[in-house]
Chain A
Amino acid sequence: MKKNEENVQIGAKVKLGASDVIVRTFGYIVISIYALACIFPFLIIVGSSFTAETVIRQEGVKLIPKEFTMQAYEMVCMSGTIWKSYLLTFALTAIGTTLGLSIIAMTGYALQRKDFPFRNVISFYIYFTSLFSAGLAPYYLLMTQTYKLKDSYLAVLLPLMMSPWLIILMKNFVKAIPHEITESGKIDGAGDMKIFVSLILPMLKPALATIGLFLALGYWNEWYQSSLFLSSKVDVKPLQYTLYEVVNKMDALKNSVAGQYVTLADIPTESVKMANAVLATGPIVFLYPFIQKYFISGITVGAVKG
Chain B
Amino acid sequence: MRKQSEKKASQMQVKRPNFFKLLWKYRVLTLMCVPAIVFFFAFSYMPLPGIYVAFVKYNYGKGIFGSKFVGLQNFEFLAESGKLLTLTRNTILYNLAFIILGNLLAVFVAILLNEMRSKWFKKVSQTMMFLPYFISQVLVGVLVYNLLNYDTGFVNGVLSSLGLEKWQPYADPNCWPVLLVIIYLWQQTGYNSVVYFAAIMGIDAEMIEASKVDGANAFQKIRYIILPSLKPTIVILLLFALGGVVKGNFGLFYNIIGTNSLLYGTTDIIETFVYRATMTDFNFSTASAVGLYQSVIGFVIVMTVNYIVKKIEPDYSLF
Within 8 A of B (CB), among A193-240: 193, 196, 217, 220-224, 227-228, 240
A263 within 8 A of B: no
Given known contacts A9-B219, A243-B138, A299-B194, is B53 in contact with A138 (CB within 8 Å)? yes
A274: which of B134, B146, B160, B223 is its contact (CB, 8 Å)? Answer: B146
B77 within 8 A of A: no
B217 engages A27 (CB within 8 Å): no
Given known contacts A30-B112, A31-B116, A110-B32, is B63 in contact with A145 (CB within 8 Å)? yes
Residues of chain A contacted by B298 (CB below 8 angstroms): 132
Residues of chain B contacted by A137 (CB below 8 angstroms): 50, 53-54, 274, 277-278, 284-285, 287-288, 291
Distance to closest chain A CB from B40 (angstroms): 5
Please count how many residues in chain A sit with their CB below 8 Å of the partner chain's CB atoms: 111
Closest B residue to A45 by CB, please name it. B146
B138 engages A240 (CB within 8 Å): yes
B295 engages A132 (CB within 8 Å): yes
A178 within 8 A of B: no
Given known contacts A31-B116, A38-B186, A60-B153, is B50 in contact with A299 (CB within 8 Å)? no
Residues of chain B contacted by A132 (CB below 8 angstroms): 295, 298-299
A304 to B237, CA, bound (A): 9
B255 engages A244 (CB within 8 Å): yes
Q: Give me 13 other A-B pairs in contact (C-beta within 8 A), A56-B152, A110-B33, A158-B39 excluded.
A: A23-B112, A26-B112, A41-B144, A113-B29, A118-B22, A133-B44, A135-B290, A135-B295, A138-B291, A147-B42, A221-B138, A223-B137, A240-B139
Closest A residue to B141 by CB, please name it. A247
Residues of chain B contacted by A59 (CB below 8 angstroms): 157, 161
Candidate in A38, A113, A145, A288 with the most chain B CB atoms within 10 angstroms: A38
B119 within 8 A of A: no
Within 8 A of A (CB), among B1-58: 22, 26, 28-30, 32-33, 35-37, 39-40, 42-51, 53-54
A138 engages B51 (CB within 8 Å): yes
A107 within 8 A of B: yes
Tell me the interface secondary structure of chain B in the complex.
Answer: helix
Residues of chain A contacted by B50 (CB below 8 angstroms): 134, 137-139, 141-142
B235 within 8 A of A: no
A176 within 8 A of B: no
Residues of chain A contacted by B137 (CB below 8 angstroms): 221, 223
Q: Can you identify 23 A-B contacts, CB atoms within 8 angstroms?
A: A6-B219, A38-B128, A41-B147, A42-B143, A103-B36, A107-B35, A107-B36, A109-B32, A113-B29, A133-B295, A134-B50, A134-B295, A135-B291, A135-B295, A137-B277, A139-B43, A147-B42, A164-B40, A193-B28, A221-B137, A285-B131, A288-B130, A299-B194
A122: which of B37, B109, B189 is its contact (CB, 8 Å)? Answer: B37
A254 within 8 A of B: no
* A interface list, Cβ under 8 A from B: 2, 6, 9-10, 14, 16-20, 22-24, 26-28, 30-32, 34-39, 41-42, 44-45, 48, 56-57, 59-63, 103-104, 106-107, 109-111, 113, 116-118, 122, 124-127, 129, 131-142, 145-147, 158-159, 161-162, 164, 167, 191-193, 196, 217, 220-224, 227-228, 240-241, 243-244, 247-248, 270, 273-274, 277, 280-281, 284-285, 288-289, 292, 295-296, 299-300, 303-305
B40 engages A125 (CB within 8 Å): yes
Residues of chain B contacted by A104 (CB below 8 angstroms): 36
A196 to B33, CA, bound (A): 13
Given known contacts A106-B35, A223-B137, A244-B138, is B218 in contact with A23 (CB within 8 Å)? yes
Residues of chain A contacted by B220 (CB below 8 angstroms): 19
Distance to closest chain A CB from B280 (angstroms): 12
